[in-house]
Structure 1
Amino acid sequence: MPEKEKLRIDKYLWAIRLFKTRTLASDACKAGRVKLDGKNIKPSYEVKMGDTYQVAKGIERKVVRVTGLLENRVDAKTAVIFYDDITPVEQTQAFKSMFHAPVLKRDRGTGRPTKRDRREIDDLKDDYFDKKEEDSE
């Protein structure tokens, strides 16, 4: 794999497959979703070995440490060699738990919920989300 001495952060994030396109990586930098030591960085920022970046992608948050410089995009198995994902476990579990929220389904053809049904549904949702907040504290 060719390694470079100078490499832009947007190109690096694209090459290690954190973003699908280089434009998305560049836009994330411009919007302040890529940080180094809590400070926003520009897409042209030069990546250095050992630096730790905080990357926000939608609701997902990642903390990445640079272990190697990679100029061109490679397959996912190879890309993992060039960075360490040091995202705290709490953040990873919080992101995954968002996809396990209860899904309420109504029988087909029963029509719209009545006012009473709606109140019961709201109470059920409130109880579920209140428990989640108590568990995380």
Structure 2
Amino acid sequence: MGAGSGSDDPAAVAGAARPASGESVRVDSWIWSVRLVKTRSMGATACRGGHVRVNGERVKPAYAVRVGDEVRLRHAGRERIVIVKRVIRKRVGPPVAAECFVDNSPPPPPREAVAPAGVRDRGAGRPTKRDRREMERLRGLGAPEAGTDGP
């Protein structure tokens, strides 16, 4: 194989992944192809569990998607809402996959900024009682303050 024998053009890759005219693509296969789920079987499981809706209807894994359909997928604790722009059968790279749908999903919730509580220098030895109390206070596990007991 010589250099340049493969096609690096994203449009050509997407064209090769497109089904023949008149064919349809299963919804589980499409959400896998455009990288909304990691595996096709995860897509099928999501469909069977009622986590995939097309145009507001719960669908089975074999449901045929078409251009213009709205696909809602609840996955990994968040809802993805996408409009199908291009129907493809084979999994493609992220830049090409992004061209196959319009993402109308709400932004992901911000990650909580967690202070690295209890991180100690390597080789610092076992924490003292004072150090442990400080780490527990930072984690929010501290016992109630002294003197708050009832009579």
Q: TM-score, normalised by structure 2?
A: 0.65
Structure 1 pair 118–82 and aligned structure 2 pair: CA distance change class (3 A): same
Answer yes or no: is 1:79 the counterpart of 2:97.
Answer: yes
Kindly, what percent of the aligned residue pairs are identical?
Answer: 24
1:98 Cα shift? Answer: 2.2
Which residue of the partner structure matches residue 113 of structure 2? 100
Structure 1 pair 106–25 and aligned structure 2 pair: CA distance change class (3 A): same
Q: Which runs of 5+ in 1 are unaligned?
A: 125-137
Moved over 6 A (4+): none
1 CA distance for matches of 2:128 and 2:88?
A: 56
Which residue of the partner structure matches residue 9 of structure 1? 27
1:119 Cα shift? Answer: 5.5
2 CA distance for matches of 1:60 and 1:111?
A: 42
2 CA distance for matches of 1:37 and 1:56?
A: 14
SS in 2 for 1:98: coil
C-alpha RMSD of the superposition: 2.6
Answer yes or no: is 1:29 the counterpart of 2:43.
Answer: no
**Corresponding residue to 1:54 among 72, 79, 82:** 72
SS in 1 for 2:71: strand
Answer with 1 or 2: which has the greater Rg. Answer: 2
CA deviation map 1:11-40 (0-9, x unaligned): 101111112211111111111221234432
2 CA distance for matches of 1:50 and 1:100?
A: 38
Which residue of the partner structure matches residue 127 of structure 2? 110
Indicate the structure with greater helix content.
1
CA deviation map 1:88-136 (0-9, x unaligned): 23xx2x1xx225333322436216745x864563279xxxxxxxxxxxx
Q: TM-score, normalised by structure 1?
A: 0.71
1 CA distance for matches of 2:92 and 2:112?
A: 29
CA contact (8 A) 2:118 2:135 kept: no
Count of residues paired in the alignment: 118
